[in-house]
Amino acid sequence: MKYMKQLLTILLISFVGELLNYFLPLPIPASIYGMIILFTLLMTGLLKLEAVRDVGMFLIEIMPIMFIPASVGLMTSWGIIRPLIVQIIVITVATLLLVMIISGRITQLVIRHGRKEEQEHE
């Protein structure tokens, strides 16, 4: 019963995200609305982590399975993708490097900021 309650909580938050997506004319996916709502509820303490932890961990564990339909879709579209494969690879590698560089820089800034605050409090 605990798992049903946790799953229903996540589904309800996702549904509210879908409603926001429907009523707000912004180019933001419903899943992003749902994640923002869940994050806000967790950070404010209105929703305790224990209320969604077990099902959340289960969903993370089975996440690779969720990529199977997308992979099959790519395989069935090979005829369309094949002439563009070089461009797709270049874009993929470029964005991967860009995300890695930006993430690394932001992480370094956060670590430096944390150390600086630590030294100020000493």
Task: Spell out a b/e string for 7-17, using b for 16 or more CB atoms within 10 Å of the CB, else e.
Answer: bebbeebbeeb
Q: Which pLDDT tens digit goes with each residue over 92-119?
A: 999 999 999 999 999 999 999 989 888 8
pTM over the 0.75 mark: no
Q: Which pLDDT tens digit goes with each residue over 26-65?
A: 999 999 999 999 999 999 999 999 999 999 999 999 999 9
Query: Residue 16: which pLDDT band, with cuts at 50, 70 and 90?
Result: very high
Single-letter amino acid, residue 81? I
